[in-house]
Structure 1
């Protein structure tokens, strides 16, 4: 499970992790449940249907061996229709319910049902394929999960359904999901950037996950900027003691016309940059104090494309996440 505050790049990290895991002939299922078609945009393919689809090959290992990444886009309405067909044999009647808006109504008034259907579809895909001869068997599943603020509620389905379903197939399914979610087979990874709100939300998310007895994996610090200045230079920039004469000379040597306004502007920007770096360092210290493994991924200056995803996947593997 990969979660994170909106804007931290959790979909990017989930995609890169799937590529990193798909090696040596392993099959990985990359899933999304938020209806944004983020996987399709990330890999520049057509919108994904409600079925598993081969997406791309994974990151090669040292011997060049690759696995395959498959994708699955899950929406609650389709999952409920499939559930009704499997357990209650509604067939066309289920589609009639959808036309009348009953499906949307049911999944809206009972969010716990919605979540158990979404996660249950992932589980069903893996179990079905492991049972059927000749079907794809997945070695790993990566779920691009809801944001940190909702991840515990999303995964703690038995608690959310406590007042709705005491017995029956959906109660049995929720119990099965909770057994999986609380097992060593599951890890919830949290994505953050080095800013106060995302780091605090990450810390709160870890506390909530642990209180619900859900397994925390690691924290991925995303969009880390390159460090081009030394600690001494950053300290001088914050203190306003950078060598103005040397800066003027460097600019002149570079063929620029130097005026007092240019140097003043550069010194002000350097001070702002140094303050930002100090804030990032303080947030990195807070991440280190969370007592979970942490990984760092750089900001991609040109944006994220498939080549960038492979690059990030390699970094995750180098750092031991996959």
Structure 2
């Protein structure tokens, strides 16, 4: 995918807890950074999940390189610290960084962000907007920005809270900043991607989030089905097993040919395992239809065995890169 081929430069990744959205966000950043591009990966929830994935020390509040990609591309990562983001805001609009540091020593900043959690989201989205629009020598500093965002249950409020803040302020820096953030978030250069599993709750939360994002006029991108498994039997055999038509007698000849002991007991145990697998696969297949009915571009990422390391991230990134190329070609 060439950055010139797609207007999207801000990729917001969300998903129900446990779907692997941080892993997908990291893999997407690697995919976008291929062929010499520079991508910023932003972590918003303070869990240092990005640092763990890239096997680096905890990230400070500064943009640090965490990976190099094909063609000399690079991924930088930033873990947003809300207090530092507020200091940036006070300095940028009011020239009050020194006063802000005094407030932090008094604990006032932590108090303010605790009693007004919406303020945290305003500061985070403001920092993201600044990274997207930052320029050097007339061109963007980053070819793309990927945000490991809050889960689907609060993604719309997270992205739309600045709009609500702007409605309260009729003029001044807060109004200007709010309008600027929403102009980026609602523009064609933003896409909100939703990560799901082929399970009932994640798929339902994905559908609900798409409805909420659409009503808030926030641009929905792709649905990414993570940790998808492959069937271990041909479709015909899976259907037969799911319908309960597989018996121990069907497996007995193969077990005997393999010189496996255990007799009918082993055969029946294997039948139970195969039937469970087949019914689980049938359920997943039905959920695939529900995901397709959402009407968004969809990609499946495989369930990888073993720990998630940098090699695994690059494997997922290759799948995402192919998907991005296909989307651009179809546009």
Same fold (TM over 0.5): yes
| 1:189-234 deviation per Cα after TM superposition (whole angstroms, max 9, x unaligned) | 0000000000000000000000000000010000001122122111
1:286 aligns with 2:290: yes
Q: Determine if contact 1:158/1:171 at 8 Å carries over to the other structure.
A: no
Tell me the residue number matched to 2:22.
Answer: 11
Tell me the residue number matched to 1:101.
Answer: 107
1:168 aligns with 2:172: yes
SS at match of 2:193: strand
Of 73, 90, 95, the residue aligned with 1:89 is: 95
Alignment of 1:121-136 (within 5 A): 121-128=127-134, 130-131=135-136, 133=137
Tell me the residue number matched to 1:43.
Answer: 54
SS at match of 2:205: helix
The alignment yields a C-alpha RMSD, in angstroms, of 2.0
Tell me the residue number matched to 2:159.
Answer: 155
Shift, 1:153, TM fit: 0.5
How many residues are matched?
A: 315
Alpha-carbon distance between aligned partners in 2 of 1:162 and 1:90, rounded to the nearest angstrom? 21
Of 198, 207, 211, the residue aligned with 2:211 is: 207
Between 208-217 and 18-27, the greater mean CA deviation after superposition: 18-27
Of 32, 54, 61, the residue aligned with 2:65 is: 54
Shift, 1:171, TM fit: 2.4
1:145 aligns with 2:182: no
Shift, 1:165, TM fit: 3.4
Q: Determine if contact 1:194/1:280 at 8 Å carries over to the other structure.
A: yes
Between 257-266 and 73-82, the greater mean CA deviation after superposition: 257-266
1:310 aligns with 2:314: yes
Between 104-113 and 307-316, the greater mean CA deviation after superposition: 104-113
Shift, 1:20, TM fit: 0.6
Tell me the residue number matched to 1:112.
Answer: 118
| 1:18-59 deviation per Cα after TM superposition (whole angstroms, max 9, x unaligned) | 11111222111111110011110011101111011111112x
Shift, 1:126, TM fit: 4.1
Q: Determine if contact 2:239/2:278 at 8 Å carries over to the other structure.
A: yes
Q: Determine if contact 1:240/1:267 at 8 Å carries over to the other structure.
A: no
Alpha-carbon distance between aligned partners in 2 of 1:188 and 1:127, rounded to the nearest angstrom? 18
Shift, 1:3, TM fit: 0.4
Q: Determine if contact 1:248/1:258 at 8 Å carries over to the other structure.
A: no
Alpha-carbon distance between aligned partners in 2 of 1:259 and 1:167, rounded to the nearest angstrom? 81
Shift, 1:123, TM fit: 2.2
Q: Determine if contact 1:224/1:297 at 8 Å carries over to the other structure.
A: yes
Alpha-carbon distance between aligned partners in 1 of 2:205 and 2:117, rounded to the nearest angstrom? 22
Q: Determine if contact 2:122/2:161 at 8 Å carries over to the other structure.
A: yes
CA pair 91-183 structure 1, distance change in 2 beyond 3 A:
closer
Q: Determine if contact 1:34/1:75 at 8 Å carries over to the other structure.
A: no
Tell me the residue number matched to 1:72.
Answer: 78
